[in-house]
Structure 1
Amino acid sequence: MTYSSTVNSLPGTTGTPKLYRDRTTPAVFRGAALHWPAVQQWTFNRIGALAPDLPVNLVVGNREKDPTQFTASTLGRYTDRLARRSSPQESGLYLKEFDLLTQFPDLRHELRQNELFPRWSITSSSAWMGPAGARTGLHHDFLDNFAVVISGKKRFLLAERGSVEMLGKVSDKYDSWARLSFVSFEEIVHSRSPFQLFTVDLMPGDVLFVPAFWWHEVVNLSPSILLSGFFGSSPRVAVKWATVKTRDAMHYTGLIGRGHCTCHGHRPCHGRNGAPPVHGKAV
């Protein structure tokens, strides 16, 4: 895909993620997590072997922009497909927002997340596992995020906050911790947007800081595992938590987003893959 000159490559940032002070601009820290045991040791086969019969719901296609669909599988069956590299027909099946660290808490010892988050932050992590070609449509999250690539290669396409709003293309599709877009990143580029636009390819061990309210679209360039780390100060998270819980209650009773949300397709909404209470949509 070729972009116009309005899209810049996101340059690498010196220093460490934890000491990064500019919370308004994306930043990539090359190799910042390369020394983590998880980056060295996690494979699809290893994760699948932890609970091969564990039921999981796989997202079909680009649910941020298209109708939400799920298909049932097991962790072992799905990770085996990823390890063997799925066929083009399977590239649309994506395990998103999987609560990996709650399911397998011993894996926390193979991370070094204290190297990422500012002191006193409230944090929540989820995993994204999928084949080459799997995509997360354009959206923004309500909390800051450190995205860590554990394995594989991913591309992030980033559009400055306000860019989708200026086009009047914010979607009314419901998502607890994010806002979605009617348009893709490519459509923003073609609109000759005056906002900042970036692209960045991430390799294992790379860490990307995505500020809250920055729009981003994500595509897997190879089968990959990504761990998101959403975070914020206690007051900020508390306010957002209260707002989200109120809206969730209205959603679950059918008052808003009925039949038009990311959390279910054609069945009642009961949550997603054990999603944690504070999470977003990265990938």
Structure 2
Amino acid sequence: MLPLPTPDAVPRVWIGNESRVSTHYDVSSNVAVVVAGRRRFCLFPPEQGPNLYVGPLDVTIAGQPVSLIDLEAPDLERYPRFAEARAQMQVTVLEPGDAIFIPSMWWHDVKALGRFNVLVNYWWGQAGAASPFPALIHAILAIRDLPEGERSAVRGWFDQYVFGDAAQDAAAHLPDAMRGVLGSPSPERTDAIRGYLARTLERL
């Protein structure tokens, strides 16, 4: 029996024939189990994104951006950095009863190798949580095209409040009641952040 890490890992069943899902990532962690047929999985660590030549972020087939690389016939003249990604690629073929764990944000390409395939997968870790992807899109609007001095200042904000080792304690000098969106995770904080963002975006 496969023990799942959280009760919010809802199963989904995928039934089909020979098919291919282009290289993409999922924000949620994933366990995929082959029930019938065979499936090939090709995985890349998150830092290989720049070498995968990702297509449009906002015009996609199924919601997630995908790589433009054909893994079976990569055009290294057009996409030379893929050579580095390919050196990091991990490949496995799953038979019925085999399972694979795909960590959050890992790029993966999935190909069904037979005329009839059944896959059961379990995503977890993002139930009720906000995806970071819209934050990236908003950052392109609000930050990417600023003059370098201003972008550097904003980078400092992100280090202080988001990415730095002490980011979760950035408001430690404030009383709990005054921390607002910098407070500890809670439904109340989530509502406050969503309300703030909605009001801000309405003014754009």
Aligned residue number for residue 231 of structure 1: 124
Shift of 1:209: 0.3
Aligned residue number for residue 54 of structure 2: 169
Distance 1:161 1:130, change over 3 A: same
Aligned residue number for residue 22 of structure 2: 137
Question: When you count helix as a share of all residues, which structure comes out higher?
Answer: 2
Q: Report if the CA contact (8 A) 2:39-2:95 is conserved.
A: yes
Give a deviation string over 1:151-198, Cα, whole Å, max 9, x none. 111111111212133455243234776332232335398631156211
Aligned residue number for residue 66 of structure 2: 180
Q: TM (normalized to structure 2)?
A: 0.52
Q: Report if the CA contact (8 A) 2:14-2:119 is conserved.
A: yes
Q: Report if the CA contact (8 A) 1:171-1:179 is conserved.
A: yes
Q: Report if the CA contact (8 A) 2:24-2:65 is conserved.
A: yes
Aligned residue number for residue 98 of structure 2: 206
Q: Number of residues paired by the alignment? A: 127
Percentage identity across paired residues of the two chains? 24
The reply to whether residue 197 of structure 1 matches residue 84 of structure 2 is no
Distance 1:163 1:129, change over 3 A: same
Shift of 1:225: 0.2
Distance 1:149 1:138, change over 3 A: same
Shift of 1:229: 0.5
5+ residue gaps, structure 2, are: 136-204
Distance 1:154 1:188, change over 3 A: farther
Question: When you count strand as a share of all residues, which structure comes out higher?
Answer: 1
Q: Report if the CA contact (8 A) 1:136-1:217 is conserved.
A: yes
**Which AA in structure 2 matches 1:207?**
A
CA–CA separation in structure 1 for the residues paired with 2:33 and 2:15: 12
CA–CA separation in structure 2 for the residues paired with 1:168 and 1:181: 6
The two structures, once aligned, show a CA RMSD in angstroms of 2.9
Greater C-alpha Rg: 2
After TM superposition, what 4+ stretches of structure 1 lie above 3 angstroms from structure 2?
174-179, 184-190
Q: Report if the CA contact (8 A) 2:52-2:69 is conserved.
A: no
Distance 1:201 1:174, change over 3 A: same
**Which AA in structure 2 matches 1:164?**
G
CA–CA separation in structure 1 for the residues paired with 2:52 and 2:111: 23
